[in-house]
Amino acid sequence: MFYVVGLGLCDEKDITVRGLEVVKGSARVYLEAYTSILMVQKERLEAFYGKELILADRDMVETESDEILRNADTEDISLLVVGDPFGATTHTDIILRARSLGIPTRVIHNASIMNAIGACGLQLYNFGQTVSLVFFTETWKPDSFYDRVKENVDLGLHTLILLDIKVKEQSEENLARGRKIYEPPRYMSITQAVSQLAEVEESRRGGTLTPDKTLAIAMSRVGGEEGQQRIVSGTLAELLAQPPEVFGEPLHSLVILGRRLHHLEVEYAETYAVDKEIWRRVAKDVYGCVLE
């Protein structure tokens, strides 16, 4: 059997009991290192599982899937992925490959940012499509995400924005020379994300992401312990004005609020507001939310 096991969001204890049993019973266990980064290192997982883990970057999962699947028809092989196997990055290709080789597969689900984002207090069924925001460079500022956010905002829906992660990035020089030397991982900060949103709003002028009229919630290390998880809510202008350390350690996510806003959602997120009065005023006056 080929298992794809979701590890959840934070550390070694977020695996499910079933997932842990599968890991312990597997002949080989791969750990996918690309998608996003757990808050703990491989060694800590290995100690907890009592198992050696084989690191598999995204390249390997894509190009060497047959090696990962070797003997999975006769023994149990697991691939561990951060979050849920069908979360932000899906693992449909390797499962399709297993199927074509006649290997039975099973997915062990877990929390992913796509549902845990509900921790900010907004109702998941009022979220529209999810968008990704990539690092802008001097010459490359892809802004098609703006159209997606606008579609959501026009319908009154919330938007989860996933912030870019650069892992195994090569410098232009190393790339040109074919040297497999990689830069340290980079995670987009809330400050950078909000400033990129402002830049795109400035050029598009669609009125979708107005600095002082758009409410947003910044989240970091969702699902983490008190002190690790951080939630900060405010207008885009307020978030931009915060010192970066307010938002905690990566990974970060950002939610743009839509007009379909229940007063309980506003009250829940008010706890995390930069300025509670501004938060309530914008929710009332701009979003039309009826507050007590």
Binding site residues for S-adenosyl-L-methionine, as ranges?
Answer: 9, 84, 87, 112-113, 163, 222, 252
CB 133 to a copy of itself: min, Å? 12
3-state secondary structure of 238: helix
Q: For residues 33-72, which are near a copy of itself according to CB under 8 A?
A: none
State the DSSP H helix or E strand holding residue 270, giving kind and residue range, or none if neither. Answer: helix 263-270
Rounded CA gap, 159 and 129, in Å? 7
User: Which stretch, 124-132, 202-210, 248-256, 281-289, contacts a copy of itself (CB under 8 A)?
Assistant: 124-132
CB 180 to a copy of itself: min, Å? 28
User: Which stretch, 73-81, 119-127, 171-179, 237-245, contacts a copy of itself (CB under 8 A)?
Assistant: 119-127
Contact 108, 24 (CB under 8 A): no
State the DSSP H helix or E strand holding residue 252, giving kind and residue range, or none if neither. Answer: strand 252-256
CB 116 to a copy of itself: min, Å? 5
State the DSSP H helix or E strand holding residue 108, giving kind and residue range, or none if neither. Answer: strand 105-108
3-state secondary structure of 79: strand
| 95 binds a copy of itself, rule: CB under 8 A | yes
Rounded CA gap, 119 and 98, in Å? 35
Nearer to a copy of itself, 136 or 268 (CB): 268
Pairing of strands 54-56, 28-32: parallel
Contact 235, 278 (CB under 8 A): yes
Tell which one of 41, 71, 203, 271 touches a copy of itself (CB under 8 A): 271
| Binding footprint of a copy of itself on the chain (CB under 8 A) | 6, 8-9, 12-18, 20-21, 84-88, 90, 92-93, 95-96, 99, 104, 106-112, 114-119, 121, 123-132, 151, 155, 157, 162, 222-223, 225-226, 264-265, 267-268, 271
